[in-house]
Structure 1
């Protein structure tokens, strides 16, 4: 546990170095929210949650790429792969809750006639899903620009695709629409929440497995080579 917390602390310090970028990313959901506030409630709530999802997944992408240089040395110092992975996730989840809380308060005092428990659940699940999604993309696409474009494409498709299309249901933030129906529409039943939770569980299992397996492969500990006592004729294992 101590090593996991140490990694989390180091990840928070690394994220804090990008204060300017993160500030701009944190304000993006606010722009999403007010762009739809005057039209339909469900759009503004959904857009702010998608904005938070993109912000957190992008922060996770930065954190994952920044860790590539130090993680092999930490493995040689005795840190397990799961400690490195969970420590980084813990830091990102902490950042996510700090980001989502003021947006929930904004919705709480700005919108009437909505189910605030449903909105809180949407933001909670967004915070849970976005960081492992960003780390998974970081594992597959180590360059930040390509990773950011992929994450932006995912969020844009989630916004624009027809909700009746199967592709929209397969995207990682589909639960925002399912639970959003319950949160905004008074006649929507709890079945929307159930479907949203099932979707979140599947997505979370996939991105955690992808990110964890990628980290395990990348950080697979190599048995060090030692010099032969007889001289430089060749290394022995």
Structure 2
């Protein structure tokens, strides 16, 4: 546990070095929110969650790329592979909750009485849970940051624009925002939307965590001729 916390602290320091970029990324969900704030306020709820998802997954992409240089040395120093990616995820989840809280309060005040607040909280928590491992998975598969950012942007853009009746829309990692968002903004929507959203988020989280774990294990696989002194 101590080593995992050390990795988390290192990751937070690394993320903080990109303050300017992170501030701009943190303001992006606000632009998403107010772009649909008028008569289509129900869409603003979903858009802000997608904005937070893109922000956190992009921050995770940066963190994953930065870790490539130091993780092999930590592995040789005796850190287990799972301690490396779990520590990094712990840092990113902390950043995510810190980012999501002000947006939850914004919706709570701005849309008072128009939405189900518990469902809004659930959407944001699930977005914070899914986005960082998604970003780390993309970083593991695409080592160049620009390519990774374009992939993440494409995912979010498709989630916004695809016809919700299409199977492709259901297969994208942030589909749960629409399912639970429907329950959040429509008074006559049943809790089955929440059930499907939770199932989708859980499946997505399991898949991206497996990709991160497998990719990290393969990349940092200890060679038989290397031993810890």
Q: TM-score, with normalisation over the residues of structure 2? A: 0.97
Cα deviation for residue 225 of structure 1 reads 6.2
The equivalent of 1:146 in structure 2 is 147
Equivalence map 1:117-196=2 (5 Å): 117-196=118-197
Which consecutive residues of structure 1, in runs of 5 or more, have no partner in the other structure? 227-237
Q: Deviations over 1:21-63 (max 9, x none)?
A: 0000000000000000002122000000000000000000000
Number of residue pairs the alignment of both structures matches: 226
Cα distance 1:72–1:225, how it changes in 2: closer, same or farther (>3 A)? closer
Cα distance 1:73–1:41, how it changes in 2: closer, same or farther (>3 A)? same
Asked if residue 24 in structure 1 is aligned to residue 24 in structure 2, the reply is: yes
Cα distance 1:196–1:225, how it changes in 2: closer, same or farther (>3 A)? closer
The equivalent of 2:65 in structure 1 is 65
Q: Deviations over 1:169-217 (max 9, x none)?
A: 0000000000000000000010000000000111011100011100000
Q: TM-score, with normalisation over the residues of structure 1? A: 0.94
Which consecutive residues of structure 2, in runs of 5 or more, have no partner in the other structure? none
> Aligned equivalents of 1:109 and 1:176: distance in 2?
20
Which contiguous aligned blocks of 4+ residues in structure 1 show a shift greater than 4 angstroms?
A: none
Q: Deviations over 1:140-163 (max 9, x none)?
A: 000000000000000000000000
The equivalent of 1:33 in structure 2 is 33
> Aligned equivalents of 2:201 and 2:219: distance in 1?
27
> Aligned equivalents of 2:143 and 2:62: distance in 1?
10
Q: Deviations over 1:87-123 (max 9, x none)?
A: 0000000000000000000000000321000000000
Which structure's CA Rg is the greater one? 1
Asked if residue 213 in structure 1 is aligned to residue 209 in structure 2, the reply is: no
Cα deviation for residue 224 of structure 1 reads 2.6
